[in-house]
Structure 1
Amino acid sequence: MPRSIAQTQELLAINKPAGLIVHSDGRTVEPSLADWIVERYPALRDVGEPWVSPQGEVVSVCGLVHRLDRTTSGVIIAAKTSDAFEKMRQAFKERRVEKTYRAFVYGHLEADEEGTIVAEIARTRELPRRWYAIARESDHVRAAITQWRVLARFIDPASGEPVSYVEAHPLTGRTHQIRVHFASIGHPLVGDHLYAPERASLLSFSRPALHAYRMSFAMNESQEEFIAPLPEDFDEALKRFEE
């Protein structure tokens, strides 16, 4: 179930659980984060420009300026007014929103405590849902940058496999960016069966181990920061290494 993290006069910060879609895609009938917002904050129904799905369904954005993948948990922001929606949309466009994610990845990132991945992202023709990263420039791919640092290195007690707990800062907002970038350097996310189909899931994760932990930005000359507490599967994974 989603939970409200904090509110200002203009913004609503929500902690989205893994497994919940942000908006209806017009193809399936299932609960969405937008439905939850409309139920609890009906005034947000008409905030932002609605869009039309490929099936012709008009979808209200309910103030949501950005998205998270279905399998990603964490902080997501909804604007409470049309003016705030435009301000936030511009902030994302100009890359003035600082996003911090937490993730578990396969293997030990041993070369450096921190680093930057610069690789363009394009969609694969064979698997339309899957993206890949390449280092060269092209008119047909999308440049992306992710900064990262290692928070801890562990050995999974059940499998004996090495695991790194990392913090990631995507400076761009491409589809599956963090998942694609870590896979491109040989350290895909634990539980990511799309980008590491041959790897066994560790630490009991039933989804890619990715959580949108923090979001910060300037709004009306003040600095806003919203933090989504770690979900249960992250807490349980960390507890395993404390035992």
Structure 2
Amino acid sequence: MKIDLIYQDKNLLVVNKPPGITVFPEGKETDKTLIDYLILKYPELKQAGIAPRYGIIHRLDKDTSGVLLIAKNNNSLDFFQKQFKDRRVYKEYIALCQGIISEKQGKIETLIGRSPKDRRKQKAFSPYEIKQKGTLRSAITNYEVLQNFQNYTLIKVIVKTGRKHQIRCHMAHINHPLVGDKLYGFRDALELKGLTRQFLHAKSIKVNNHIFSAELPDDLKKVIDNIK
């Protein structure tokens, strides 16, 4: 598998994660994951963390592409994970949503936890839904409209927190699910030509005075061209 390298030094590896592959094994995962391929090329990654996650600092969903950070040693892993935990990391995504978002920008702030109706999904809860069983964690998503199309809206998303499925869950919560998202999207949504996944790309991460970026991949560029 071809995995584009964005940056590396003695402590850190930054790659442009391709879509369609899980970052590291979870549960009953049997297919090769991103960390499996990376260890073949960079065996020093085994020096960080513990198997099967090793030096993975943060995660991206299987069908999300873009910037991903991996530590090469335990000191680096501890440092960068603390940066994420303390919310000192700027994370910017590009997403295409269903429908027209009329406001130029917005903020979604809720609690997020596992959906009681579908364990594959996360659900956004108001602070008043204290009867929900399980762990609820605060989640903040900011978005800015980049371009409106006939039935879609291209947005820049900046997440202040890093909850599982946060962007997908939050955009569905305001009735603008991501295009191509079969888990959170509308059941009767039209499929866009050439799109085989949710339209979500981790464009850039700024951490410790460094900015790492990955351009929108060709499959998503073609989708934009097709709806113009």
1:21 alignment partner in structure 2? 22
RMSD: 1.5
Pick one of 143, 147, 162 that aligns with 1:173.
162
> Is the 2:47–2:72 Cα contact (8 Å) retained in structure 1?
no
SS of the residue 1:96 aligns to: coil
The answer to whether the aligner puts 1:42 opposite 2:43 as a matched pair is yes
Inter-partner Cα distance in structure 2 for 1:173 and 1:150: 21
Query: Does the 8 A contact of 2:47 with 2:73 survive in 1?
Result: no
Residue by residue over 1:195-236, the C-alpha shift from the partner in whole angstroms, topping out at 9 and shown as x without a partner, is 124122224321111111100111xxxx11100121122110
Equivalent position SS for 1:45: helix
Contact 2:25–2:52 (Cα < 8 Å) also in 1 = no
Counterpart-to-counterpart distance in 1, 2:53 and 2:99: 38
Partner of 1:55: none
Within 1, Cα distance between the matches of 2:164 and 2:54?
A: 21
Please name the residue that 2:111 is paired with.
120
Equivalent residue in structure 2 for 1:204, among 194, 200, 209 = 194
Identify the residue that residue 54 of structure 1 maps to in structure 2: none
Q: Does 1:154 align with 2:154?
A: no
For 1:114 and 1:138, how far apart are their aligned partners in 2? 26
Partner of 2:73: 81
SS of residue matched to 2:167: helix
- What secondary structure, in the 3-state scheme, does the structure 2 residue paired with 1:44 have? helix
Deviation at 1:28, TM superposition (A): 3.2
Q: Distance in 1 between matches of 2:160 and 2:27?
A: 30
Q: How far apart, in 2, do the equivalents of 1:25 and 1:116 lie?
A: 31
Give the equivalent residue in structure 2 for 1:214: 204
Give the TM-score taking structure 1 as reference length: 0.86
Please point out which of 210, 214, 224 is paired with 1:224.
210
What one-letter code is carried by the residue in structure 2 that aligns with 1:176? Answer: H
Give 1:3 shift: 1.4
The 2-side partners of 1:137 and 1:230 are apart by: 38
Separation in 1, partners of 2:66, 2:16: 5
Other structure's SS at 1:119 match: strand
Among residues 80, 83, 87, which one is paired with 1:91 in the alignment? 83
Q: Tell me which residue corresponds to 1:158.
A: none
Comparing 134-143 with 163-172, greater Cα deviation is found at 134-143
Aligned to 2:125: 134
Aligned counterpart, 2:222: 236
Find the counterpart in structure 2 of residue 2 from structure 1.
3
Q: Which has the higher mean CA deviation after the structures are superposed, 2-11 or 84-93?
A: 2-11
Are the equivalent residues in 2 in contact too, given 1:45–1:60 (CA < 8 A)?
Answer: no
Q: How far 1:25 moved relative to its partner?
A: 2.1
**In the alignment, what sits opposite 1:143?**
138
| DSSP-derived class of the 2:168 partner | helix
